[in-house]
């Protein structure tokens, strides 16, 4: 019986150690997207991420307004300490950001593209140039997610996708899988 208690105690200690590593692990998540209502949604998501120990950055709030956004964003996103970049393609500006970063070798693997399900290359019916670019990104990197913020379908909200993926990424980084 004492051998079982000893094994149980080692397992519990190991589990506690993993939980501590997760608490101590910081990841940096950048949230790109539209202004106006899109910016309000990104700020709400950032608050939720930060309550869970994840540093969320929003260019409009956190990057220098004195330098052109197209220059600042690329320089910051290429840094190794930025873990994930979510771009919610919901405006011409965010579509431009996606197109600008999709081919950058230091940025594209970190890029998680959020697309309204109606425009997703596998689930929607759109045949646009942008949808074709989503398909290319999906084929190369596999990170194009269909969402529905209007609750009209079975697809998750953009917030749920961002929070869920960020939390899992943090846990995987904490245990050395990333």
Task: Domain count for the chain, please give it.
Answer: 1
Within a domain: residue 132? yes
Within a domain: residue 13? no
Within a domain: residue 82? yes
Within a domain: residue 19? no
Q: What's the pLDDT score for residue 113? A: 97
Gap between the Cα atoms of 162 and 38, Å rounded: 14
Q: What's the pLDDT score for residue 41? A: 96
| Farthest CA pair distance, the chain | 68
Query: What residues make up the domain containing 157?
Result: 27-174
Going by pLDDT thresholds of 50, 70 and 90, the confidence category of residue 1 is low
Q: Strand pairing partners for 104?
A: none
**What phi-psi label fits residue 137: left (phi over 0), alpha (psi between -120 and 50 degrees) or beta?**
alpha
Within a domain: residue 129? yes
Gap between the Cα atoms of 107 and 119, Å rounded: 23
Within a domain: residue 105? yes
DSSP 151: S
Per-residue pLDDT tens over the stretch 89-126: 988 889 898 999 999 999 999 999 999 999 999 998 88
Mean pLDDT of 48-75: 87
CATH number of the domain that residue 55 is part of: 3.40.50
Going by pLDDT thresholds of 50, 70 and 90, the confidence category of residue 50 is very high
Cβ(112)–Cβ(143) below 8 Å: yes
Angle at 177 between CA 165 and CA 56, to 5 degrees: 35
Per-residue pLDDT tens over the stretch 140-178: 999 999 999 999 999 999 999 999 999 999 999 998 888
On average, the pLDDT of the chain sits at 90
Q: What's the pLDDT score for residue 163? A: 98
Question: Model's pTM, two decimal places?
Answer: 0.88
CA pseudo-torsion sign 21, 24, 28, 31: positive
């Amino acid at each position: 019986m004492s051998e079982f208690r000893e094994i149980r105690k080692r397992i519990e200690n190991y589990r506690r150690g993993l939980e501590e590593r997760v608490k101590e692990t910081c990841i940096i998540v950048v949230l790109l997207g539209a202004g106006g209502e899109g910016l309000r949604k990104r700020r709400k998501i950032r608050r939720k991420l930060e309550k869970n120990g994840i540093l969320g950055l929003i260019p409009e709030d956190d990057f220098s307004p004195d330098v052109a956004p197209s220059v600042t964003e690329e320089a910051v996103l290429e840094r190794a300490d930025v873990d994930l970049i979510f771009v919610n393609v919901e405006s011409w500006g965010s579509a431009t950001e996606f197109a600008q970063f999709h081919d950058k070798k230091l940025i594209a693997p970190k890029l998680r593209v959020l697309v309204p399900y109606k425009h997703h290359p596998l689930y929607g019916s759109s045949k646009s140039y942008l949808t074709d670019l989503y398909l290319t990104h999906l084929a190369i990197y596999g990170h194009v997610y269909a969402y529905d913020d209007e609750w009209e379908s079975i697809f998750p909200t953009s917030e749920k996708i961002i929070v869920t993926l960020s939390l899992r990424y943090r846990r995987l980084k904490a245990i050395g899988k990333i």
